[in-house]
Chains A and B, each alone.
Chain A
């Protein structure tokens, strides 16, 4: 089954609030070898003006992953996880993510372009905080193979 072009423009509901935990930020920082103290030490983060430890920039992918699950769960999306290759990734930030943030992401599919039995799917997740203020917009371009290929 090819990727369903009707994903484009479909309205997806906002995700359930994701509470950013201090230990999750520490775990992510360690996993990407980010060893600056503001990722692990609340005092170092406070010295920079943050309420708690501050996440490395690409932590925002955790929010995008939640919206990817939403897209995969959409019936007739035509997308299987095992046939996805991550082709491109972008982030545009209003501010860094900080432990204690409660984040909500809203998915949109900006484009589905057929290419020689594959499809290039451009998905965007707009991430806001508990006040509704913009935190980050993530854009992923996925190369998706046909599931019957």
Chain B
């Protein structure tokens, strides 16, 4: 028996990212690529500014599904394409909005589609989580 209905939003959240968020994620994940905290390096490699780690965005998005389900063991698979950067301004930061919608359900699994928006644009492609139903 499934507790999912196609079209249902199972989780949704807005998160305000700051440079502190990026430094915190760098330390927690051990990803110290300087494009995520150093404006000079970001500019030198042609980026529009310091970017959030793609894995921070993915971590927030998959995390809301995991936390909504209550037990991470229900997540069988997840995957995303990083299609657009999230630029984190040194003063104003960046606001992202994440939502997770049930896309399809069968006897054993449900597919949850993730949408992450930054500055009115979607930043992930094919962002999907396959969860075990009950």
Contact = CB atoms under 8 A, between A and B. Distances in A.
Contacts of B15: 33
A34 interface: yes
Nearest to A140: B55
B30 A56 contact: no
B77 A93 contact: yes
Given A62-B29, A88-B80, A96-B75, 20 more contacts: A27-B27, A30-B24, A31-B28, A31-B56, A33-B13, A34-B60, A36-B66, A48-B73, A55-B72, A57-B75, A57-B78, A61-B31, A61-B55, A82-B45, A86-B82, A89-B54, A90-B77, A90-B80, A91-B78, A93-B75
Contact of B73 (A24, A87, A90, A96): A96
B63 interface: yes
A62 B62 contact: no
Given A56-B66, A57-B66, A89 B59 contact: no
Scoring A30, A65, A83, A88 by chain B CB atoms within 10 A of each residue's CB, the highest score goes to A88
A91 B24 CA distance: 23
B72 A96 contact: yes
B82 A58 contact: no
Interface in B80-131: 80-82
Contacts of B78: 57-58, 90-91
Interface residues of A, number: 36
A34 B31 contact: no
Interface of A: 24, 27-28, 30-36, 38, 48, 54-58, 61-62, 65, 81-93, 95-96, 139
A36 B72 CA distance: 10
B33 A58 contact: no
Contacts of A55: 72
Contacts of B72: 38, 54-57, 96
Interface of B: 13, 15, 21, 24-25, 27-31, 33-35, 41, 45, 54-56, 58-60, 62-63, 66-67, 70-73, 75-82
Main secondary structure of the interface of B (DSSP, over half): helix
Nearest to B35: A82
Main secondary structure of the interface of A (DSSP, over half): mixed
A31 B66 contact: no
Nearest to B80: A89
B76 A92 contact: yes
A27 B34 CA distance: 20
A51 B9 CA distance: 31
A91 B79 contact: yes
Nearest to B31: A65
Nearest to B98: A33
